[in-house]
Amino acid sequence: MGSWGCRIIMERLFYAFLMASAFATTATAASVTNTDSQTVVLVVVEDGKRVEIELQPGDQQTICASGCFVTLPDGDRIGLEGGENVEIVNGSAVVK
């Protein structure tokens, strides 16, 4: 087809294969659980956007499909690569 023909088709086949295998391996989102008795507000920076997330007591949410920064109620910041389970205990984060 062109300079891209063989190369790109090969690459794309490879990507298709990668994608197929990715199903098994990637479930990279992180989950945050609020174990405190009051509502907490987290500031999540993901994909260049700053979003505030409100978590009711006992709530669990999935954040960070591709890594993010979280600012916790006690002022601490943590970076999450995805795949972590974060529990909020007394306003600070316990990463598992």
Partner 1 sequence: MFSGVKGGFLRSNISMTRRLFLMSFCLLVAFATLVGTVVPGFAQDQTAPAGQETIIDQAQEQIAQARKQMEGYRDQVEANRTDDLRLVDIKGKVDELGREVIKSTVTLRPRSDEIKGRLAELGDPPKDGQPPEAQIVTEERNRLIAERAQINAVIGDAENLSIDISTFSNAITEIRRQLFTDTLLKRTEVSFDLLGSVPAFLAHEAIQFQDTIGSWLAFVWKFKRIPLAVTIFLSLAAALVLLAGSYRVFGSYTRRDPTVTDPPYITRLAVAFWSTIIQTSALIAFLGLSYFFMSTFNVLRPDIVGFVLVSFAFIGLVYFVWKLTHAVLAPSEPNWRLVRISNRGAKFLVASVVVMAFVNGLDYQLSSISVMLGSAVELTVVKSLVASLIIGSILIVVSFAKPVLNRSGNPEDPGRPWPRYISIMLRLAGAALIAASLIGYIGLARFAATQIVLTGAVLSTMYIGILSGKAVSRQDAFAGTVLGRYLEQRYKLGSVALDQLGIAAGLGIYFIAFLTGIPLILLSWGFQPKDLEQWAVRLFTEITIGSISISLVGIFSGILIFAIGLLATRWFQKWLDGNVMARSHVDGGVRNSIRTGIGYVGVAIAGLIAVSAAGINLSSLALVAGALSLGIGFGLQNIVSNFVSGLILLVERPFKVGDWVVTGTTEGLVKRISVRATEIETFRRQTIIVPNSELINASVGNWTHRNRLGRQEIQVSAAYESDPREVIAILQEVLAANSAVLRNPEPIIEFLRFGESSLDFEMRFFLADLYQGTEVRTAIRIDIFERFREAGIEMPFPQRNLTVRFEDDNATTSSGKLSEALRMASSGSKPKPAEKLRPVDEAGMIKS
Q: In the bound complex, what is the minimum distance in angstroms from residue 38's beta carbon to partner 1?
A: 19
As measured in angstroms, the least distance from the Cβ of 6 to partner 1 is 3
In the complex with partner 1, the residue whose CB is nearer, 37 or 49, is 49
Could you tell me the smallest distance in angstroms from the CB atom of residue 42 to partner 1?
Answer: 13
Contacts to partner 1 by CB under 8 A: 1-9, 11-16, 18-20, 22-23, 25-29, 45, 47-50, 62, 65-69, 75-81, 83, 92, 94-95
Greatest alpha-carbon pair distance for the chain in Å reads 63
Using the minimum distance from each CB to partner 1, give the nearer residue, 38 or 89: 89
- Going by DSSP bridges, is the β-strand pair 85-89/30-34 parallel, antiparallel, or unpaired? parallel
Provide DSSP, the chain. Answer: --TTHHHHHHHHHHHHHHHHHHHHH----EEEEE-SSS-EEEEEEETTEEEEEEE-TT-EEEE-TT-EEEE-TTS-EEEE-SS-EEEEETTEEEE-
Tell the smallest beta-carbon distance from residue 4 to partner 1 (Å). Answer: 4
